[in-house]
Structures are given as C-alpha cells and as structure tokens.
Amino acid sequence: MTETCLAAVVREYRAPMEIVEYPVPQPEPGALTVAVDVASVCGTDVHGRRGQYAGVLPIELPLVLGHEVVGRIAAIGDGADVSTSLAGTS
C-alpha cells in the first residue's frame, strides 16, 4: 500500500480547495482501508467548505473533500469482519 495519496483539502472555511499529498492511514482495529479509485465532490462537500455545518456536524478543518468514493479494499485491520469482503475486492 502506498504511504501517500492526493486529496482535495480545505484549510479554512470558504477558502479554495487545494490538491495536496496526504498520508494514507493504516486501518484501525476492526476497520478497513480503501484505496480510492474515484471520488466526487458533491453538495455536502460544498456546504462543508462554506462552514454551513459548523456546530451542527462534527466537521473539523482541514477538511478532506469527496466522501462518495469507488475503490478497493487495500488493508484489513486486526479484528475486522471480513466474512463478506476480502482485500483487493472492488
């Protein structure tokens, strides 16, 4: 698994998004890491960038945009239930 990826990031509300190199997290116990092939920026991301969810949803800055993704399981954390999914599955 690679150590970094590209991400669309907003550092301040209403600021332009930046494409930056971002660290790929290792899966926590019971979780999976997904290698993202495609991610879209949707209306929820636009509202988050504007700060319209501040105090309502637990959104913290810097904000990585693009929560609608297509990808493959890249890593499996200890104790993850993989009975219905395997590493490399699309």
Q: What is the pLDDT of residues 19-32, one digit of tens each?
A: 999 898 889 999 98
> Can you give the length of the chain in residues?
90
The parent domain of residue 38 ranges over 4-76
CATH number for the domain spanning 38: value is 3.90.180.10
| 66, part of any domain | yes
Peptide bond into 23 cis (omega under 30): no
State yes or no: is 67 an active-site residue.
no
Q: How many structural domains is the chain composed of?
A: 1
CB neighbour list of residue 63: distance below 8 Å, 6 or more residues apart: 9, 10, 48, 49
Q: Which of 2, 44, 84, 89 is catalytic?
A: 44
CA distance 65 to 25: 16
| 24, part of any domain | yes
State yes or no: is 44 an active-site residue.
yes
Q: Which of 47, 67, 84, 89 is catalytic?
A: 47
Q: What is the pLDDT of residues 19-72, one digit of tens each?
A: 999 898 889 999 989 999 999 999 999 999 999 998 898 888 999 999 999 998
- Using only C-alpha atoms, the chain has a radius of gyration, in whole angstroms, of 15
| 82, part of any domain | no
CA distance 56 to 54: 5
